[in-house]
């Protein structure tokens, strides 16, 4: 069974949120997780801003296609949930490492 790609939805890799120079540098100097999380937060903020803009256009009647606002809102929500989950898992892992050292 094969699935057709959905327009506007792209598969991402962990380094997809980073500029090319930071993605390659982060892998060698140990800052990869922090850079990836920062990039994901920047992406979440951009999606949230786009969602808010489209929501205002929808409320004022200046939006031709309500589906764009709905999709932007959902993308922003899912991205924020993903970033929060990754952050929580990172904090949990750090706390577990600290417990092992005690």
- Write down the domain spans for the chain: 18-101
Collapse the DSSP code of 52 into the 3-class scheme (helix H, G, I; strand E, B; otherwise coil) and give the result.
helix
102 residues of the chain, pLDDT tens digit each: 554 555 554 544 444 444 555 545 545 677 888 888 888 889 999 999 999 999 999 999 998 889 989 999 999 999 999 989 998 999 999 999 999 986
What is the CA 91 to chain-centroid distance, rounded?
18
N-to-C CA span, the chain? 51
Half-sphere exposure of 16 (CA within 13 A, CB side): 7
Half-sphere exposure of 56 (CA within 13 A, CB side): 5
pTM: 0.63
């Amino acid at each position: 069974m094969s699935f057709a790609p959905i327009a506007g939805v792209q598969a991402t890799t962990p380094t997809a949120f980073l500029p090319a120079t930071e993605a390659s540098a982060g892998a060698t100097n140990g800052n990869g997780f922090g850079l990836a999380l920062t990039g994901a937060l920047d992406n979440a903020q951009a999606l949230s801003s786009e969602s808010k803009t489209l929501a205002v256009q929808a409320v004022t009647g200046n939006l031709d296609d309500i589906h764009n606002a709905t999709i932007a809102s959902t993308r922003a929500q899912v991205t924020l949930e993903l970033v929060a989950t990754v952050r929580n898992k990172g904090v949990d892992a750090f706390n577990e490492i600290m417990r092992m050292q005690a």
